[in-house]
Amino acid sequence: METPQFKSDEEFFAWTFEKISEAITNLTHRVAQVEEGLQKIPPPGADMIKYKPPMSPVYQNLKELFDTIFGTLNSYEERMAKIELDVENLKGKYYSELENLRSRLNNLEGNDNSDE
């Protein structure tokens, strides 16, 4: 852009201030657009990543996803501990029944060796 010829210093300063005003107005609009774009970026942290687990109706951030995963694992661990406890109870019951049957069988056979 060429600078026009001015008849006086007042015309030059008026033209200069007008151009500076236009430049500031343009910068204001550009900064507003940049700020608007930056507001669309999620903050750093768990909200940056969204994941929709299979058969889930909603997306979850990392914190919610880890809560879901570890909640499921904890429920499985609790169920397995209960099953193991039930198995141990059954073992104890069946081992005592087995010992009872062995002692009865030994009595029927006439064996007196109960330490086998």
* The pLDDT of residue 95: 79
- pTM higher than 0.75, yes or no? no
Cα–Cα distance between 37 and 17 in angstroms, integer?
A: 30
Cα–Cα distance between 33 and 45 in angstroms, integer?
A: 24
Expressed in angstroms, the distance from the first to the final Cα of the chain is: 110
Extended beta strands in 3-110, E state: 50-51, 60-61
* The pLDDT of residue 18: 93
Per-residue pLDDT of the chain in tens (116 residues, 90 and over written 9): 677 888 888 999 999 999 999 999 999 999 999 999 888 887 777 777 888 988 889 999 888 889 989 999 999 988 888 887 777 777 777 777 888 888 888 888 876 555 55
Torsional class of 45: left (φ above 0), alpha (ψ -120 to 50), beta (otherwise): left
